Amino acid sequence: MSSALHLPTLKQLRYLVELDRHQHFGQAAEACFVTQSTLSNGIQELENLLGVKLVERTKRTVFMTSLGREIAERSRSLLYQAEDIARLAQHQNTPLSGPFRLGVIPTIAPYLLPSALPLLRQNYPDLQLFLQEDETARLLDKLNAGEIDAALMAFPYETKGVEWIELGRDPFWLACPRSHPLAGESAIELEELFKSEGWTETLILMEEGHCLREHSMAACQLGSTPASQRNPKALRASSLLTLVHMIAGGLGISLLPALACHSGLLQGADISLRPLNDPKGFRILGLAWRKGFTRKNDAKLLAETLRTTTQQLSGKGETA
């Protein structure tokens, strides 16, 4: 008969996780709201309990052993699950209340949230919404690690370990300077514009890492051929605001999501927007959460409000 396992406490695991995060005893202790000696003793007790070395200490530096890093990573997941359980019990009688950590990509956050947040405050006054803005790949990493509860993002996008619900379609508009010949077109045929062998338009795209770049390329059917090969003059922008300034300055044309166009992003810019005659000319807005997320019902309630706002904004016209 095997001997009984001695299980570490959540407090000990939190000490280890914060030490792994900060690589410094003082900073880790501050993050745990304890003294440095208390955290150091807790780590020592954890090592004694498990019978292994988790941390290598010197006078100036802290090194996690390979086993220490692995245990810290697994502990991080356990702590998030324990927090989920506590939040589930605390707010079971009040839907969408208490802390909720929402990640949002930069091409959605400033254009959807200003309209959605007042509605959320009205419908769910006990909700404490904490926002994090980041690129899609990093948000998904944070989501799977339990660092955020849900992610507001754009699809299609390759996702693993998450579920998501559609909020609505966000159609693309072709944006060009008002003096550009395309500004006089009633609707733009992307296939004719970008698939011809002799096309000379300078296409401005978002930098690598922004999913809007991939969605724009997909709409232009450039996915199999790098834009730099089809047009050596292709430019990149670090943000939608920068992209708008580049278009207004006559540096090229681009595709802009309707959500951003409706927000006032183009106010004062010498830019014309033309609709696309293309059934694939859109991205899908969605809310994603971890599979097995204990607050799945809260995520769905959040999605309902975000969907309402998305539909209200998508109903606006923009053909300046």
Please report, rounded to a whole number, the percentage of residues in the chain having pLDDT higher than 70. Answer: 88
- Residues 69-104: pLDDT tens digits? 999 999 988 888 888 777 767 666 678 988 899 999
CA distance 98 to 96: 7
Q: Are 68 and 76 in contact (CB under 8 A)?
A: no
Q: pTM for the full model?
A: 0.71
Residue 16 identity: L
Question: What is the average pLDDT value for the chain, to the nearest integer?
Answer: 86
For 70, 123, 272, 304, the CA distances from 318, given in Å and listed in that order, are 52, 29, 9, 25
Q: 7 to each of 46, 62, 71, 170, how far by Cα in Å?
A: 9, 25, 13, 50
Residue with tokens 């989501």: 143
3-state secondary structure of 257: strand
Please tell me the least confidently modeled range out of 160-164, 176-180, 222-226, 299-303: 222-226
Residue type present at position 9: T
- What is the average per-residue pLDDT within 284-296? 92
